[in-house]
Every structure is written in C-alpha cells, then in structure tokens.
Amino acid sequence: MTKTNLINKERYDNAPIIKRLFAYLIDICIYAPLAFLFILSSKVYAFENNTQKSYFMIICLIIVSIFLFAYIPKKLNGQTIGKKIMGIRIKHINDGDELSYWMYFLREYFAKIGMGILIIPMMFLYSIFVGIAKRSFPKTFMLDHLFSVRVIDVRKNIKQV
C-alpha cells in the first residue's frame, strides 16, 4: 500500500454536513465572545493611551486562537471542541500521516474563521456546482481537498478509529 492511497471508503464514514455545520457554529460561539472581549479591551486601552496593555490584549487573542484552533485539535486527535461535541474529527487522507499544528491552525482558524466570510459560501457553491455536474452531491468540501483531509463520523467508526 503506497503512501498516496486514499482512506478506504468502507472503513470510514464521512461526517454529515449538518454535524459539520453545528460543529463550526459551536466553535464560532466559543471563539467570537472571547475575540470580542479581547478586541474591545484592546480598543479601550488604546483609547486611554495605554498601548502596552492594548498590545497585550492582541497577543492574548493570538494565543487563545492558537490554543483553540491548533493545540486542542492536535491533542484531541483532529477534533476542535465543536467537533468533539458533535462526534466528528479530521482524518488525513493518508492513513499514517497526521496533520501538524500549523496545518490545523491554517485549516481551523485561518480558513474557517479568518476567511470564513468568503470560504464558507464558496464551499457550498462548489458543492452545488459539482453536484449538478456529476448528478450527485459531494460528501467533502473544497477545503477538505485543499488540506487533503476528510471529516469522519467518529461515532460510526468507533471500532476502526
């Protein structure tokens, strides 16, 4: 079996889109209030001409972002808090490979949170166009192809995972 072999489709079930959406919403509901508080406090400190505390709040926001979207998924074997609650996880297409902290951060934070306004609608449009062209809707999104991952349903694959 070569390194480029894809995950056996009989062994892993793709996570339903609704579970993925709820996991994303849970992650947003955890991150957004924290980000709002750090940014708001940074603005307050900047308004008071206390730039040192303002920069500290921005650094804290960056640390929290790295913790939530790089450290936790790496330690929880491909699950953010939302994915853990919904029972799904990220699995690299190559069975033996594992994503790095940097790849988790790029996928979970930069692509979903940072550019979520553009990427989320593009993923759904991509799914619709591919579905129309192939007459069957894809079970993976464009972002999954970009990072060579699949989002699998852990609860259905407990014996194999």
Write the pLDDT tens digit of every residue in 42-85.
Answer: 999 988 888 899 999 999 999 999 999 889 999 998 899 999 99
3-state secondary structure of 7: coil
Q: In this structure, what are the phi and psi dihedrals at residue 92, rounded to the nearest 5 degrees?
A: -65, 145
> Which CA distances in Å does 46 have to 43, 58, 64, 85?
5, 11, 20, 37
H or E stretch at 92: strand 88-92
| Contact call for residues 143 and 123 (beta carbons, < 8 A) | yes
- Higher-confidence residue of 156 and 36: namely 36
Reported confidence tier of residue 36, pLDDT bands at 50, 70, 90:
very high
Q: If we measure between CA atoms, which residue out of 94, 110, 92 comes closest to residue 102?
A: 110
End-to-end CA, the chain: 19
